[in-house]
Chain A
Amino acid sequence: MIEYKMELNDELKGILEGKEGKTKQKILETLVLFGDIFGAKRMVKVTHNEGHLVTSFGIPLLKPLFKTMDEINAEGIKAEGGFTCDPRPLDYANVKCNFLEKIVFNKILYGKQKDYEAQLKKAGLTDSDSFSCASYLKECGNRPKEGDILSWAESSAVVFANSVLGARCNRNSGMLDLFGSIIGYVPEFGLLLDEGRKATWIIEVKTSKIPEAQILGSAIGMKVMEEVPYVFGLDKFLGNEIDDKVEAYLKDFGAASASNGAVGLFHIDGLTPEAKKLKEKLIKEGAKTYVIDDAELERVYKSYPIMWKDKEAKAKLCFIGCPHLNYYQLNKWHEDIKKALLENHQEKVSCQCVLNAPPKVLNRFIKEESAKYKELYNMGVTVSSICPLMYTNNPLTHGKAIITNSNKLRTYSMARYFKDEEILAILAGKKVY
């Protein structure tokens, strides 16, 4: 048995002694050693039992993942509360691929997708529509309440759950997300503790208009890295209540801060749950200050490298919705694209455009807004639940001029970032670069 420092209850001691099998023993060893590094004094119960896994893709090279899943399946081990999972990497019906791309995806990149999904199902995947990075949206059902302890991964989901819902979750890695869900305990440190949720950065937003969520999040992420920012001046634009529109803004803001930095929790003065309750008591003494004005946002925007070989290339593919869109955003993009095309006397968008949303949000949209869904189709826009990040892993896509309004996708791919208004102009056939 491993040497460890934290206090364990009898149930966990038994698992660590191997009383529930070798695999569970190794799973708990991993969690305990991980917690010891951060001085966790104990393991605490996961109170929101449904987990969320970041690994949704069957890339054959992830041999350690498949081997561990085999061990888990072989011993009949399950996450009893179930779990949702990040989006699937493929959707041939809605995101076009040529013959060669399909071969690379099916045979090389995601050759183990089917096998991996079978492993996930055996380990406790909630259902076949549970593939989304935004499974916390109301339609999806995996929505923790304030104060809940989670065993989740997916940086954008963790930062949303912590900041917008007031739940408590560390930035867990893939594998540890599942391990915590299986054992039902996670090590108590960092963002699980009151002290770890205090801000060490004060952000003063002094822009003339509402900042682009994705650029503001990126600027803050790059500055504060993994520390906790407390943001002043944003409630002036967003108000003091979190409705679907504000939730969409905070979702995109948080995803950018988590991928361009390592933010796991932010507080927005007068808006997010803990900031509303505790106000400036949440700010640690000696916190550093970062002022963001129009010029700073523009500086950050201009600093993004353009990875296209031909910087003048005409856009071939546009991804909107990384992280996945909520219901409000789907409706809003429909409205905005329709308006942009109308104003520019166009009937169809200038390149293949994909709006990404969770399967359960799309099902609602198609059912309740079938006319809008048809209009989108007629304008050349498809809806999908794909993970654009995983799609762009295919080296064959590297020659494609892909545009996006996602700072996360920009970071992990060769896609070029544009602001929302620029995306609309490009889709309407205007030249903006």
Chain B
Amino acid sequence: MKEFKGRVIAKGHFIGEAAVTHAGFNTLASFQKSALMNKKEVYVSDQNNKELFNKNITGKILCLPMTIGSTTGGLVIQTVCDMKINPRAFLFSEEIDSLAASGIVLAKVWQNSDVICIDKLGKEFLDTVKTGDRLEIKEDGTVVIL
């Protein structure tokens, strides 16, 4: 078991499976295909993301350095939260970027979403966590790799 502590952007308690990307997560490119086709789950459609391409991230704990790409990003996060096909939690190793932050705030204020978001977990977190690991997220921003 290894513990990491980050800053709480949107709190919650959850135990689930990690989906990890070490490259920036391109929000529009990743969610676009599944969201547009009204799918019940998101299979990452970003061709540039070799770690997550074609992987199901709905209900998972997305571990990432930051999001990148189009400034539709925040609206896209809000929309997938509204469709309830979002990752259950976003865990950022770095400080959250402006687009992801917009998406989380929009989802909270306008959709009352229960999406969880922690940032500033550190580089070591992303170096340690692997796709498929079981993680526990606590309300104070602690993340435990079980």
Residues of A within 8 A of B (CB): 26, 29-30, 33-34, 37-38, 54-55, 59, 61-65, 67-68, 109, 153-155, 158, 170-177, 190, 221, 225-226, 258-262, 305, 307, 393, 395, 411-412
A293 to B109, CA, bound (A): 47
B83 at the interface (CB under 8 A from A): yes
Query: Least Cβ distance of B5 to chain A in Å?
Result: 17
Q: How large is the interface on B (under 10, 10 to 19, 20 to 34, 35 or more residues)?
A: 35 or more
User: A64 with B78: in contact, given A26-B110, A33-B105, A171-B98 (CB under 8 Å)?
Assistant: yes
A68 to B82, CA, bound (A): 13
B102 at the interface (CB under 8 A from A): yes
User: A412 with B70: in contact, given A173-B98, A175-B106, A305-B47 (CB under 8 Å)?
Assistant: yes
A173 pairs with B68, CB closer than 8 A: no
In the complex, the chain A residue whose C-beta lies closest to that of B78 is A64
A33 to B105, CA, bound (A): 7
A411 to B49, CA, bound (A): 11
Query: Least Cβ distance of A173 to chain B in Å?
Result: 3
Query: Least Cβ distance of B84 to chain A in Å?
Result: 12
Chain B residues lying within 8 Å of A259, measured Cβ to Cβ, are: 69-70
A173 to B110, CA, bound (A): 15
Chain A residues lying within 8 Å of B54, measured Cβ to Cβ, are: none
Spot the interface stretch: B11-19, B23-31, B128-136, B137-145. Answer: B23-31
| CB contact between A59 and one of B29, B36, B66, B96 (< 8 Å): that residue | B36
A173 pairs with B99, CB closer than 8 A: yes
Query: Least Cβ distance of A179 to chain B in Å?
Result: 9
B24 pairs with A225, CB closer than 8 A: yes
B48 pairs with A395, CB closer than 8 A: no
Chain A residues lying within 8 Å of B110, measured Cβ to Cβ, are: 26, 30, 64, 67-68
A360 to B73, CA, bound (A): 28
Chain B residues lying within 8 Å of A64, measured Cβ to Cβ, are: 75, 78-79, 82, 106, 110-111
A425 to B114, CA, bound (A): 53
B66 pairs with A175, CB closer than 8 A: no
- Of B28, B73, B82, B99, chain A has the most CB atoms within 10 Å of the CB of B99
| CB contact between B74 and one of A63, A176, A260 (< 8 Å): that residue | A176
B71 at the interface (CB under 8 A from A): yes
In the complex, the chain A residue whose C-beta lies closest to that of B24 is A225
A38 to B26, CA, bound (A): 21
A253 to B82, CA, bound (A): 34
Known: A61-B38, A173-B73, A262-B67. 14 other contacts (CB 8 A): A30-B110, A33-B105, A37-B105, A64-B82, A171-B97, A172-B74, A173-B103, A175-B78, A225-B68, A226-B68, A226-B97, A258-B69, A260-B68, A305-B47
In the complex, the chain B residue whose C-beta lies closest to that of A2 is B109
Chain A to chain B: the 8 pairs with minimum beta-carbon distance, closest first: A173-B74, A173-B102, A174-B75, A153-B71, A262-B68, A155-B71, A174-B72, A37-B101
